[in-house]
Every structure is written in structure tokens, then in C-alpha cells.
Amino acid sequence: MPPVVRRLPAYEPPVGGPARIPLPRPRPVWVPAPEPPPPALDAARLLSVVLEVLDGRRPARLLREVAVPVLAARLGGAVRARTTRMVRPPRVCHPSRLVAEMSVTLRREGRVVAAACRAEHSGGRWWVTSFTVLE
């Protein structure tokens, strides 16, 4: 079968009209990430309150001041007498301006374990929304 030749549409600009020259694209402007709203996140305080309640060194009602109600009820039922200490200061990552994810290494009952926590800023405060001890 012989090749088929088709006529292409005109691709030259029209003659006689004003030539339209595309404008250069604006250069992106670097904008620093805004700081989280006050109060500043105190990761060590949030984690220590949760850990002290879980160890039975503080009353479970304190969880209502730092955690969302669903998490406070769940953690309030997991209170046991034990000793937990933070081995190092917590590591904090901010996936967004109003969210912080924290991890910390703990020494509990002669073992070293890790804990992960998520806090969100709402209503002018930081609230713990998730907490897990990885044993």
C-alpha cells in the first residue's frame, strides 16, 4: 500500500496583524514557611505528661488538658504502675504548620522502647491526637 500524504493545517502566524510575543513567566519567589501559631510547641512537656499519666504518677484527668477526648479515654484505661524515663529529647517533625509528629526513645522496666506521637494545633493550643508505644 503506498504512503498517504495529508496536507497539514497552516502553522504560520497571520500576515499583517500585530505579532503577539509571549511575556516571560514570572520567577518564583521564595517565601519562608510561617512559624506555628503561639503557643510554641513544647514536645517534651506534652510527652512527659502523657508518660507520667500512663505510669500512674499523675492523675488521668490531666490527659483531658493535653489530649483529644477519644485519646484521653483510651490512654486513661491503660494506666499501670511502672517507671518510664525519656532517654533523649524528643525529635519533632512538622508535616504542616499546624501539625507536629514526635518520636522519643524511652527506658521502661529495663528495656528501651520507642514512642510516637502526633499533635495538632487547634483552639490556641497543641492537642495530642495520637500516641503509640512501639514495644
4-35 pLDDT, tens digit per residue, is: 888 888 777 667 666 677 788 888 888 887 77
Distance of CA 80 to the CA centre of its chain: 29
Q: Which domain CATH number covers 83?
A: 3.10.450.50
- Domain contains 33: no
Q: Has residue 35 been placed in a domain? A: no
What's the structural domain count of the chain?
Answer: 1
Q: What is the pLDDT of residues 62-84, one digit of tens each?
A: 999 999 999 999 998 888 888 88
113: three-class secondary structure by DSSP? strand
Residue 53: what pLDDT?
Answer: 92
Q: Which residues pair with 46 in a beta bridge?
A: none
pLDDT for 100 beyond 90: yes
